[in-house]
């Protein structure tokens, strides 16, 4: 179907359902695609798209950010992806630590971090890579650990957060637009554990509109299934090689998420076999002295509620009132996949 036909069918189904429908896109790239194409303005008034916890930078816990900044201030060189550099912590940001003389490097890949570690011109001591993200970035970090890179891991498994949202029940979720990138790694089968309409979706505007249509059709027919719109990339079994790489190096543990707290079984911990490259063990003496009391204090920033879909960026009291991409107060305004940053760039 072309986009005109898809939209026509969406409106027909929305009218047939006859009630408010809340669909959640849980991928930051989907959030950008929806905003860039203005898709919300094309949908029926009773069909709502809500942003979920799909931004890896945004869901990184404040304690982990404070921990990694504390390592830099103690003289440990650190490398991480660019967006994380500007996220405010209780002791400033990584960018600000670099301004104070700390050795902090923003990289595009773990390969680049390995090159810095191996270069005597850049550093003379160990380098810690601040590893973050979901199943999509975890294989690259696992590979780097096997090559001898020291890592502070905040990697997370994504499905436990989707399950947690359903179990918490703060927001009625009628269906999920499932993440394409994560699904390419884990496949479609794991989603079957959740008894809610779901569609694994690509990133073009028509992909997203078709997924909305497919979810509405499930609701109209009173079905709760996992459907795969992104068949050109996502297979039922996912990518076994990438999954094998992850679980060669990592094992499941409880994960600490901004906005959620601890989600059981959602974290990736470096296995005992690779403990020599686990920054949490190697630099335990420094990390044990960090005062995390500031990390847990509430702030005016509402990133936690935005991540859980309870608030929109415009509901946050500091949105555009002190919190902008140039001077972010919370991570949702820093990352290009963050709901506040996306809203700021595309709201017109």
Question: Distance between CA atoms of 129 and 308, rounded to whole angstroms?
Answer: 28
Judge if 54 and 72 occupy the same domain.
Answer: yes
Judge if 220 and 312 occupy the same domain.
Answer: no
Work out how many domains the chain is built from and give that number.
Answer: 2
Question: Distance between CA atoms of 198 and 176, rounded to whole angstroms?
Answer: 5
Tell me the CATH number at 41: 3.40.50.11750
Phi/psi at 342 (nearest 5 deg)? Answer: -65, -45
Judge if 47 and 142 occupy the same domain.
Answer: yes
Q: What average pLDDT does this structure show over 30-50?
A: 96
pLDDT at 121: 63
pLDDT at 174: 98
pLDDT at 1 > cutoff 80: no
pLDDT at 117: 92
Judge if 77 and 104 occupy the same domain.
Answer: yes
* Digit-coded pLDDT (tens) for 98-123: 999 999 999 999 999 999 998 866 77
pLDDT at 125: 76
* Digit-coded pLDDT (tens) for 237-265: 999 999 999 999 999 999 999 999 999 99
Q: What average pLDDT does this structure show over 91-97?
A: 94
Q: How far is CA 265 from the centre of its chain?
A: 16
Contacts of 141 (CB under 8 A, 6+ apart): 110, 129, 131, 133, 151, 153, 155, 249
Judge if 234 and 332 occupy the same domain.
Answer: no
Helix or strand (DSSP H, E) at 143: helix 138-146
pLDDT at 124 > cutoff 80: no
pLDDT at 189: 97
Question: Distance between CA atoms of 44 and 60, rounded to whole angstroms?
Answer: 34
Tokens describing residue 287: 């990390």
Which residue in the block uniquely carries the two structure tokens 């942003």? 51
Judge if 175 and 144 occupy the same domain.
Answer: yes
Judge if 148 and 231 occupy the same domain.
Answer: yes
Judge if 214 and 331 occupy the same domain.
Answer: no
pLDDT at 79 > cutoff 70: yes
Contact 105, 116 (CB under 8 A): yes
Mean per-residue pLDDT over the chain, rounded: 95
Contact 3, 206 (CB under 8 A): yes
Containing structural domain, residue 312: 303-346
Tokens describing residue 92: 């400033």
pLDDT at 331: 95
Q: What average pLDDT does this structure show over 150-173?
A: 96
Q: Is 261 helix (H, G, I), strand (E, B) or coil?
A: strand
Judge if 117 and 248 occupy the same domain.
Answer: yes
Tokens describing residue 233: 């990339």
Judge if 45 and 19 occupy the same domain.
Answer: yes
Judge if 47 and 103 occupy the same domain.
Answer: yes
Judge if 230 and 335 occupy the same domain.
Answer: no
pLDDT at 120: 67
* Digit-coded pLDDT (tens) for 281-332: 999 999 999 988 877 777 899 999 999 999 999 999 999 999 999 999 999 9
């Amino acid at each position: 179907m072309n986009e005109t036909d898809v939209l026509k069918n969406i409106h027909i189904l929305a009218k047939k359902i006859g009630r408010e429908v809340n669909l959640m896109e849980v991928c930051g790239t989907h959030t950008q695609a929806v905003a860039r194409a203005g898709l919300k303005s094309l949908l029926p008034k009773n069909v709502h798209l809500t942003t979920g916890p799909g931004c890896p930078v945004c869901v990184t816990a404040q304690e982990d950010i404070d921990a990694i900044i504390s390592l830099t201030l103690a003289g440990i060189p650190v490398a991480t992806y660019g967006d994380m550099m500007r996220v405010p912590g209780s002791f400033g940001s990584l960018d600000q630590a670099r301004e104070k003389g700390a050795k902090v490097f923003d990289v595009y890949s773990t390969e680049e971090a390995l090159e810095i570690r191996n270069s005597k011109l850049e550093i003379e001591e160990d380098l810690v890579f601040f590893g973050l993200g979901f199943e999509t970035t975890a294989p690259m970090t696992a590979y780097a650990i096997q090559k001898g890179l020291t890592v502070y891991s905040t990697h997370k498994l994504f499905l436990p957060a989707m399950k947690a949202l359903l179990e918490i029940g703060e927001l009625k979720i009628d269906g999920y637009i499932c993440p394409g990138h994560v699904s390419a790694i884990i496949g479609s089968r794991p989603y079957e554990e959740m008894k809610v309409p779901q569609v694994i979706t690509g990133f073009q505007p028509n992909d997203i509109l078709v997924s909305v249509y497919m979810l509405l059709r499930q609701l109209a027919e009173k079905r709760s299934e996992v459907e795969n719109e992104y068949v050109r990339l996502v297979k039922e079994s996912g990518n076994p090689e990438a999954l094998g790489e992850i679980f060669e190096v990592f094992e499941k543990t409880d994960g600490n998420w901004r906005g959620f707290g601890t989600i059981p079984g959602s974290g990736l911990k470096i296995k005992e076999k690779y403990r020599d490259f686990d920054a949490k063990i190697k630099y335990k003496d420094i990390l044990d002295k960090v005062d995390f009391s500031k990390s847990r204090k509430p702030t005016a920033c509402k990133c936690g509620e935005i991540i859980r879909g309870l608030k929109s960026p415009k509901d946050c009291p500091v949105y555009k009132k002190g919190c902008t991409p140039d001077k972010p107060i919370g991570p949702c305004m820093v990352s290009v996949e963050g709901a506040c940053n996306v809203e700021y760039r595309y709201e017109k």
